[in-house]
Structure 1
Amino acid sequence: MTRDSKETRRGRWRRLRDPGLRDRGLRDRGRPPRCGSSGDLRKLSQGRLLAPSAICVLIAAPALLLDQVPPAVTFTQLLLGCGLTVHAVRQRDRLLAQLAEVREVARITQEAIVRPLSRDLAGTHVSTRYHCAVRESALGGDLYDVAVTSFGLRVLVGDVRGHGLEAIRLTAETVAAFRELAHTVPDLPSLATGLDERLAPDLGPEDFVTALLAEFAPGEVRLVNCGHPAPLRSGQRVELLEPAVTALPLGLSPDPLQYRVRLQPGDRLLLYTDGLTEARAPDGTLFPFLTEATHALREPLPDEALNTLYARLLTHTTHPPTDDLTLILCQPTHASALPARVGG
């Protein structure tokens, strides 16, 4: 990878983080859909049905405009029109079957890459919610995964800054690399570096992947943030767990630094993508993320907490999210009562 292409991606990442652009709602303006879509197949179906329909109209037009039509002509028109109609219906049925097959493949792919979770893993309860912004697709640019390793429970959440089928490819590649490296790399900074080295050769000039890595141990969580929104801890108090320095996203040769946060009994950690923090009402008002998350995370059950947060998001926006959205709620079941926060 050339230095110029890497600098191009770094510049784009910095522009996306610019508060002025974010406040004016320009971050997502003009951005192509990041999900693979079956819309092209639907357009093809409409085009193939339009031609025979037009022919049928042309054939039937004389019968409607003329008072007298020879019987032979009328019969020929009727026969030809019926034949074209049958052909059009068969074409439509075949294309609808193909569309259903594409959607089923997308669903299976989603379940293989972003597996829904709601269970205890290595002493931590993990619940997830995932929404793809493109209706016809099941998989977009958001990604997440968990791995129970000898180093502890490890969690990844990320956001691919590509679009279309390329985003799906990078999503799958990132998750596959995490599933392999999470079990062999001893610490999170090395894991982030390993992911970066795997992804960088295949990234386009403006592509990168923001990522947050978390590793749970008794009484604490270790974090590495590569250009991703900071996680939220809720418990005796609610706070964003910002790193002292945010590393660059994967693909931009980040210099990842680990930081640790002590966990009190009952603490929860919410990991998410920017589909939550950048959602807007019809008048452009940003979703009040901290206020609404604080309210939702009071729900006693993790699944209900995520359901409440998503419902409050829909109430604010009045429509399903227009960006991909991932929510992961982690609640250690055996956290020891230790000081609130330590470094390194």
Structure 2
Amino acid sequence: LVVLAPGVSLLLAALGMIPVGRPTGIAVLLIGPVIACVWSSARRTAAVACWTVLLAVTAGVLRRLLGTPGFCLEFVVLVAGGALAVLNAARHTERKAALSRAAEVASASQSALLQPLSVEADGIEVCTRHHSPVRGASVCGDLYDVVQTPYGTRLIVGDVRGHGLDALRTTAAALRAFRDLAYLTPGLADLATAMDARLAPGLGSEDFVTAVFAEFAPGEVRLVNCGHPPPLRVGKRVKLLEPPQPALPLGLRTAPLPHRVYLQPGERLLFYTDGLSEARDGEGVEFPLLPRAAEALAQPSNSDALDALYAMAVAHTGRPLTDDVVLVLCRATGVTGAPLPARAREGISPAAGP
């Protein structure tokens, strides 16, 4: 591109010197600055414009056209067009810089919202990872959070539909709603419907948030799934923890059913977003989540297990993943803490076996 614009101007000037028929007018040299302003900076476009003016003067001298009315008119058109090309390049560069700054701010905001966690509370170890897309991709809407409440340790993993600043605003609103309501709402399904009511007024007609909620208690975990990929329980075998019946995502008047599963010491729960489960290779084959999760989570360290799982996904696609990926790994370490209040157990279906 650096050579193309001045090269085109030089070629056109040379063609104008061929004494065949009517010589090419010098105004056609404006093609060079026009090409430059589309892809290059204002400084490079100005250099190309000056180069075309020099070529025009040289052509006018060699063809003995300096001072003629036709040459003067075309020369004015060439100079004015070059100035407009420089102005357009400057605006284009400024717009790209503004978009780049906005993307950096949005990315920093997303990183601040999704800070990595590695904590242990009430017999549960929690380790998280958030992997952003390749550089230059737009901000996505994956989210997670873990809070201690009077009803036990609660967790949310979700995914906002869409990308960009709108998705980032919805992500912040969802996390704020979870932190507010998780302390005040005894039932986990009630927490989901309360968040649904909080988020719905601020969402567009086609916007929603998939989410899975977890509440840990001695020997078990309560789950509520609102249209999100089901978590994995990894122990002696790997099992998808499907909800008793599908539920709509948040923002669409969801009415999920809670359920619970046993969680013995040493067993792990893997929560994730669809950036992992829908990762595809060059032939469109999805990432084989269950066998790869069983292999990666054989590592004793939660942190190493999550890093190994993400590396497997990248190896499967053969390139960096183009969607956000959130990974949250929870491991039961033992029975600690008091049982939840009876009111918090209302509406929960019996625990699922191994």
TM bucket (normalised to shorter chain) is 0.7 to 0.9
Cα 1:279–1:137 change in 2 (3 A) is closer
Deviation track 1:30-65 (CA, whole Å, cap 9, x = no partner) reads: xxxxxxxxxxxxxx9956536535423322333675
Q: Which residue of 2 aligns with 1:60?
A: 54
Determine the C-alpha separation between the residues in 2 that align with 1:305 and 1:225.
24
Q: Give the secondary-structure state (helix, strand or coil) at the position aligned to 2:56.
A: helix
- Rounded to whole Å, the distance in 2 between the matches of 1:95 and 1:68 is 41
1:199-238 to 2 correspondences below 5 Å: 199-238=199-238
C-alpha displacement at 1:92, in angstroms?
9.9
Which letter maps to 2:55? A
Moved over 6 A (4+): 66-69, 86-97
SS of residue matched to 2:184: coil
**Counterparts of residues 40-189 of structure 1 (less than 5 Å):** 49=42, 51-62=45-56, 101-133=101-133, 135-136=135-136, 139-189=139-189
- Give CA deviations for 1:121-143 in whole Å, capped at 9, x if unaligned: 44322111212336236841211
Which residue number in structure 2 is paired with residue 320 of structure 1? 320
Check the 8 A contact 1:52/1:88 in 2, yes or no.
no
**Mapped partners of 1:235, 1:172: distance in 2:** 34
Equivalent residue, structure 1, for 2:28: none
Q: Select between 324-333 and 301-310 the one with higher mean Cα deviation.
A: 324-333
| C-alpha displacement of 1:244 | 1.2
RMSD between aligned alpha carbons?
Answer: 3.6
Q: Percent identity?
A: 49
**Counterpart residue number, 1:304:** 304
Task: Note the alpha carbon deviations across 1:156-194, whole angstroms, 9 max, x for none.
Answer: 111111333221111111111111111111121110011
CA contact (8 A) 2:142 2:324 kept: yes
CA spacing shift, 1:123–1:54, aligned 2, 3 Å: farther
Q: Which deviations, in whole Å up to 9, do the C-alpha atoms of 1:223-259 show, x marking residues without a partner?
A: 0000111100101221111111121111111112111
Between stretches 113-122 and 218-227, larger displacement belongs to 113-122
Letter in 2 for 1:203: L
Q: Give the letter for the 1:285 counterpart.
A: V
Give the aligned partner of residue 260 of structure 1: 260
Which letter does structure 2 place at the counterpart of 1:156?
A: I
Aligned to 1:33: none
Deviation for aligned residue 1:293: 0.8
Secondary structure in 2 matching 1:184:
coil
| Residues 65 and 219 of structure 1: CA distance in aligned 2, closer, same or farther (over 3 Å) | farther
CA pair 87-250 structure 1, distance change in 2 beyond 3 A: closer
How many residues are treated as equivalent by the alignment?
292
Q: Paired residue for 2:343?
A: none
Which blocks of at least 5 consecutive residues in structure 1 are unaligned?
A: 1-43, 70-82
Does the 8 A contact of 2:199 with 2:250 survive in 1?
yes
Query: In structure 1, what is the equivalent of residue 68 of structure 2?
Result: none
**Deviation of 1:100 (Å):** 6.6
2:275 corresponds to = 275
Cα offsets for 1:96-146 (capped at 9, x unmatched)? 875674455234312332121123244322111212336236841211111
Q: For the structure 1 residues 96 and 253, does the alpha-carbon distance in structure 2 shift closer, same or farther, using more than 3 Å as the test? A: closer
Question: Is 1:332 aligned to 2:332, yes or no?
Answer: yes
The question of 1:342 aligning with 2:351 is answered: yes
How far apart are the structure 2 equivalents of 1:187 and 1:291? 34
Structure 2 residues without counterparts, runs of 5 or longer: 1-36, 64-82, 337-349
Kept after mapping to 2: 8 A contact 1:109/1:139: no
Q: TM-score, normalised by structure 1?
A: 0.73
- Classify 1:255/1:91 alpha carbon distance in 2 versus 1 (closer, same or farther; 3 Å): closer
Moved more, 115-124 or 198-207: 115-124
- Conservation of the 8 A alpha-carbon contact between 1:115 and 1:145: no
Larger Rg: 2
Q: Which residue of 1 aligns with 2:286?
A: 286
- Which stretch of the first structure deviates more once superposed, 306-315 or 97-106? 97-106
* Partner SS, residue 329 of structure 1: strand
Structure 1 contact 276–325 (Cα < 8 Å) conserved: yes
CA distance in 2, matches of 1:88, 1:161: 35
Report the Cα distance in structure 2 between the residues aligned to 1:215 and 1:53, rounded to whole angstroms.
64
